[in-house]
Amino acid sequence: MQQLDAFADIDAPPEKVWAVLTDFSSYPEWNPFIVRASGTLRVGERLNVTLQVPEMKAVSFRPRLLDVEPGRLVRWKGVTYLPGLFDGRHALSVEPLPDGRSRFRTHEDVTGILLPFLGTVMRRTQKGFEALAEAVKARTERS
């Protein structure tokens, strides 16, 4: 297993960060990593997601929602081709900080038999996570 993780502390309350995260229709305007997303935020539902990993071709997939805690957490499981090849459990979370601030975190546990061969992909994906965290911060603080 390998973990990818990035976060940003944001000068805004959690509900404002959550509003940015759940406004899927605006992702193409500001999100450099999850460039498109749609679907209903309900456990068991599938989202339509397009990721743009830096220096790679965009990839679309349909992860199933595992957890949805409004205002706090969205977690999904994505599978590439066949289960067990390259699977990820991705979470987008928001937690309150003192003084009305928030921490946004994007985290993924990646498993699968292809993982040992995907070092470059994983490094580039980590950069995508970092870009996402910074973009959420910028979008939230600007709005």
What are the extents of the domains in the chain? Answer: 2-142
Burial 122-137 (b: 16+ CB within 10 A, else e): eeebbbbbbbbbebbb
Q: In angstroms, rounded to a whole number, what is the distance separating the alpha carbons of residues 61 and 69?
A: 22
2-142 belongs to which CATH class?
alpha beta
- In order along the chain (143 residues), what is the average pLDDT of each group of 10 residues? 96 98 98 98 98 95 97 93 82 97 97 85 96 98 92
The Cα–Cα gap between 73 and 15 comes to: 12
CA dihedral 122→128→132→138, nearest 10 degrees, is 140
Predicted TM-score (pTM) of the model is 0.94
Give me the pLDDT at residue 81, please.
Answer: 67
